[in-house]
Amino acid sequence: MSKKIYFLIIISIFLVSCSNGINSTNIVSHNIDPTKVVLDKGAGGIMGELIIPPFWDGEQIYAYAAPYLGDPEGEGIFILDDKVNKYARVEADNYFQIANIDPGIYILVVGPNTDSAKAYRKNGIAVKITITSDEFTDVGKLYIEN
């Protein structure tokens, strides 16, 4: 397959993964191998790559899976508590992998700590991510707004 066609396929997959809602059917592959982490039976996970805002340069960044509370098709809130929520360190190459999350709807929240963390948003609205049991949901490459 030519490099041009391969590139177009990758771009198309990325655009599909950045929709208003993300679930396990929007899989984009990259350097993280989810088979290296064994999920607890019935649990799921979130993985992806982040484009971090420049004001966080040099700081250790964490990705949090914050439970969404509200209408799955409408508005709601999320709860962020690093003592309760699952989270993972964002690696130097900007990839992250949060494992063993209970199935449900979550908001991905990113930052050096819970006080300054920001929800992943698209067009100003926090994006709901659906976690299903026994698989990782790959959110692809995400830009965290200022």
In three-state form (DSSP H/G/I as H, E/B as E, the rest C), the secondary structure along the chain is: CCHHHHHHHHHHHHHHHCCCEECCCCCCCCCCCHHHCCCCCCCEEEEEEEECCHHHCCCCCEEEEEEEEECCCCCEEECCCCCCCEEEECCCCCEEEEEEECCEEEEEEEECCCCCCEECEECCEECEEEECCCCEEEEEEEECCC
Is the pTM value of this prediction over 0.85?
no
For residue 85, is pLDDT > 70? yes
pLDDT one-digit tens code per residue, 21-33? 554 434 344 455 5
pLDDT grade for 59, boundaries at 50, 70 and 90: very high
Domains and CATH numbers, the chain: 3-143 (2.60.40.1120)
pLDDT one-digit tens code per residue, 94-131? 999 999 999 999 999 999 999 999 999 998 889 999 99
